[in-house]
Amino acid sequence: MNIDIFGLGYVGAVSAGCLAHDGHRVIGVDPSATKVELINAGQTPVIEAEIGTLIQESVEKGQLSATMDFASAIEQTDVSIVCVGTPSQLNGSLDLSHVRTVCEQIGESLRRKDGFHAVVIRSTILPGTIRQIVIPTLEEYSGKRAGEDFGICHNPEFLREGTAVKDFYQPPKTVIGELDTRSGDILAELYGHLPGPLIRTDIETAEMVKYTDNVWHALKVGFANEIGNICKALEIDGHRLMDIFCQDTKLNLSPYYMKPGFAFGGSCLPKDVRALTYKARSMDIPVPILDAILPSNALQVKKAFDMVVAKGRKKVGILGFSFKAGTDDLRESPVVELIERLLGKGYELKIYDKNVNLASLVGANRDYILNRIPHIARLMVKDLSDILAHGEVLIVGNGSAEFQGVLGQLKPDQVVVDLVRISDGRSDVASYDGICW
């Protein structure tokens, strides 16, 4: 392919060198004469393992060159990859001036160019940037329509400094957020030889992926450090502890617990978070990340409550209120907390959970429901049909299999607030509202 790359900084230079090494004809574009001269001399403008050799070989073979003339570069290519910086401003927002400038330049050039041209944003940008800034700017300066006269994709990069070339050729995943299938096909062909999953999705999801990855990595560092600080105070080797922790790839380092939804509950997680943060406080060890877990969890209960209130209806049916499907355990169930709040605001509730049966409850569970929440026990019904007949708003509180068909049984005026995702439905359907989707 014939490709131009705007921005010859860290990401742009590595991408240019690797794509040229793969046999594509690549033209780097940058306003810095120094960077352009370095590339054309076969030298790297960034310090990164292996990239110097790739750039030198590609320039010698005529696969890679650089210029300050953006119009000439676009005229000779079919794909523009934007790799300019998006630095933080003082308030944390992104400085998108470089992105905007490049889009103006590309737009001006597309106005004079015939044929289809794909524009790929590889810079790290927040969701909404492409639709609110990139596309309007390109359309204004080109006089053409995005998705028709030219293509738009977002292709976030996952390159780590020091291992960027290795990461380019062995990516954990390749993500293509596409406005149009044609430009998505171009990128799929460009990266089709790389290992790992190739994921084609919508623009906004692709924009969000890089931030989700990086914030998760930052959270992991902070979490490990707080655990390590507690361990040191207890004369425990934090590295040895985390080595054991990381050997659990079923729960700890896995997709488990990583689906957005309702608050956690049960007899273990809330209790153990409280115990460990108490222990840290007793040793005067600040653990702001660990301290934020329970308040964050409580916000999900509030969010669910606010969703129900927003429906403007008083008759509510609860489908499942044990803390998860397949159990009768109500201890620290976030659904019980939600029920308490709704009762306090005068909502008319009926509750159904086949596993929470007073006749079979024993021990701690029996004591809890009879002595701690007897007012809730009196609202329980024995049949799912009773809930469907009563509720103007139906709250799905756990993922019991018997709730899968509820959406197909709704009356025209009923709405569902789903806390567990019993369906692939989205909140753009009037009768359905998912808590995190």
Residue ranges of the annotated binding site are 30, 35, 86, 124, 158-161, 210, 257-261, 265, 271, 324, 331
| Burial of residue 131 (number of CB atoms within 10 Å: 0-12, 13-18, 19+) | middle
User: How far is 68 from 6, CA to CA, in rounded Å?
Assistant: 10
User: How far is 197 from 18, CA to CA, in rounded Å?
Assistant: 19
Is residue 156 within 8 Å of 121, Cβ to Cβ? Answer: no
Residues at the annotated binding site for substrate?
A: 158-161, 210, 257-261, 265, 324
Residues at the annotated binding site for NAD(+)?
A: 30, 35, 86, 124, 161, 271, 331
- CA torsion sign for 423, 153, 107, 112 is negative
How would you write 26-88 as a 3-class SS string?
EEEECCCHHHHHHHHCCCCCCCCCCHHHHHHHHHHCCCEEEECCHHHHHHCCCEEEECCCCCE
How would you write 170-237 as a 3-class SS string?
CCCCEEEEECCHHHHHHHHHHHCCCCCCEEEECHHHHHHHHHHHHHHHHHHHHHHHHHHHHHHHCCCC
Residue positions annotated with a catalytic role:
268
With residue 153 as reference, give the H or E element that holds it: strand 150-154
Is residue 199 within 8 Å of 175, Cβ to Cβ? Answer: yes
Which two three-digit tokens encode residue 215? 């914030």
Which two three-digit tokens encode residue 108? 């001006």
User: How far is 141 from 88, CA to CA, in rounded Å?
Assistant: 26
- Which alpha helices (DSSP H) does 382-429 contain, by range? 384-390
User: How far is 110 from 362, CA to CA, in rounded Å?
Assistant: 73
| Burial of residue 226 (number of CB atoms within 10 Å: 0-12, 13-18, 19+) | buried
Spell out a b/e string for 338-374, using b for 16 or more CB atoms within 10 Å of the CB, else e.
bbebbeeeebebbbbbebbeeeebeeebeebbeeebe
Which two three-digit tokens encode residue 129? 């940037």
Which long-range contacts (C-beta less than 8 Å, at least 24 apart) are formed by 291-296? Answer: 294/270
* Closest to 338 measured CA to CA, from 373, 288, 286, 384: 373
